[in-house]
Amino acid sequence: MADAHLMVDPLITIDPGGPNELQLKCHGRNLSLVPEDNLEDVETFCAPGLEQPGTTTWTSSISLLQSFGADGAWNLLHAMRKTRKTILIQPTDAAGTPAVGNPTATFEAFLPSVPFVDAGIGEKTEFDFELTAIGEPVFATA
């Protein structure tokens, strides 16, 4: 049995290979890409209460610390708000080269607008960067 994966050095790239390529790893500290199977009601007289999986919606959330500057999270993400981009995620950063033990997930999503500031005295601004995949991601293993 494979060892549990402990996330230490993930790859989180927006627009990989594109003009707006952005690595989010050093801005973030929590990462998710999770599916939700939408259940369709298919009950009949012979199968009361029956539901079966229909479409699947994939959402990604990245907890980001706000920063400002030429490579600040706000400057970079605000400039790309409401645009459709490709997102590449890999459990362990191998520059996007897939492997059975380190697959890649690639999907498209519209980038949300991001908060500017949201903090008290002496506190950081932390926010969840929420992405909803358009269609389903492609998972590459080799």
Partner 1 sequence: MKTTPKTFKATGTFEHAGTTYKKGDTVPPGRTLDFLTRVRPDLIEGAKPPKVDD
Give the binding site for partner 1 (CB under 8 A). Answer: 17-19, 86, 98, 106-108, 135-142
Residue number, 43 or 136, with CB nearest to partner 1:
136
How far is residue 125 from each of residues 26, 80, 99, 117, 131, measured CA to CA in Å? Answer: 15, 19, 35, 6, 19
Residue number, 87 or 127, with CB nearest to partner 1:
87
Question: What phi and psi values does residue 41 have, to the nearest 5 degrees?
Answer: -75, 115
Q: How far is the CB of 77 from partner 1 (least distance, A)?
A: 18
Residue number, 94 or 140, with CB nearest to partner 1:
140
Q: How far is the CB of 139 from partner 1 (least distance, A)?
A: 5
Residue number, 93 or 126, with CB nearest to partner 1:
93
The encoded tokens of residue 56 equal 């699947």
Q: How far is the CB of 87 from partner 1 (least distance, A)?
A: 9
Q: How far is the CB of 105 from partner 1 (least distance, A)?
A: 10
Question: What phi and psi values does residue 39 have, to the nearest 5 degrees?
Answer: -90, 135
Beta strands 22-23; 11-14: pairing state: antiparallel
The encoded tokens of residue 12 equal 């989180």
